[in-house]
Amino acid sequence: MKCFLKWAVPSVVVLMGFIFWYRYSSSWVQWSHQPLQYLPNMHRTESLKPQRGYDFFENFSAARIPPAGSVAREQNPTVYVGASVRAEDVAKTSAPLAVSRELLLRGQFVYNNNCIVCHGRDGNGNGSIVGAFPNPPSLNSEKIRGFADSQIFHIITNGQNTMGAYGPQIRESDRWAVVKFVRVLHLASAPSDEDLRAFEAVLKGANP
């Protein structure tokens, strides 16, 4: 037994040493110049670096051009059709956010910061800029009331004729929040009897 251990232990050590050497022998040159790298293939991955050249592809670019029609994750494909498409032709979808008090207050905040100067407090197009800028149409028109959320979102994102695009200024979730706030303006400008009764009930509840 002793005799066996005498040989077995050094053999295992030598064998492990050999395996270790064999495993990393391809990076021997690099080893001789650099400190020990554990698992160098993790350190030096095969992944392509952004903004670098790569001669595998025809255009020698490591960055790939997305195929036409590809949609980024969590992006709503129906509304990112570009500025050249009229709002009337945008697919009709609802805002992908649940309406809550917070969302509407956020929408009001974003509206007051970005839209109120032209479209006015009530959305009727009587903002403080009127006179210096072409009068905007009312947001409470039958046309905009009939628009789907996605169509209003499209106008905010891409602009329309004299109105500039707000996509670059307002983040996506805030643009949806504004769309929902425009719905609040719709309600406020022409409330139904039922809406008024509900509103009165809230007022009475708040100030008994």
Closest distance of CB 134 from ligand HEC, Å: 5
For residue 24, the minimal CB distance to ligand HEC (Å) is 59
By the 8 A CB rule, do 127 and 117 touch?
A: yes
Least separation in angstroms between residue 166's CB and ligand HEC is 4
Which residue number, 95 or 139, has a Cβ lying nearer to ligand HEC?
Answer: 139
Other C-beta atoms lying within 10 Å of the C-beta of residue 3: 7
3-state secondary structure of 53: strand
Residue 139 · residue 182 · CB < 8 Å: yes
Applying CB under 6 A, which residues contact ligand HEC?
A: 114-115, 117-119, 129, 133-134, 136-137, 139, 141, 143-144, 152, 155-156, 160-163, 166, 178, 182
Whose Cβ is closer to ligand HEC: residue 62's or residue 104's? 104
For residues 188 and 123, give the distance between their C-alpha atoms in angstroms, rounded to a whole number: 10
- Between residues 27 and 114, which has the closer beta carbon with respect to ligand HEC? 114
State the minimum distance, in angstroms, from the CB of residue 110 to ligand HEC.
7
CB-wise, 114 or 126, nearer to ligand HEC?
Answer: 114
Closer to ligand HEC at the Cβ: 24 or 186? Answer: 186
Of the candidates 151, 147, 144, which has an alpha carbon nearest to the alpha carbon of residue 76? Answer: 151
Under DSSP, is residue 121 helix (H, G, I), strand (E, B) or coil? coil
What is the C-alpha separation between 54 and 134, in angstroms, rounded? 51
Q: Which conformational region is residue 96 in: left (phi greater than 0), alpha (psi within -120 to 50 degrees), or beta?
A: alpha
In angstroms, give the least distance from the CB of 51 to ligand HEC. 34
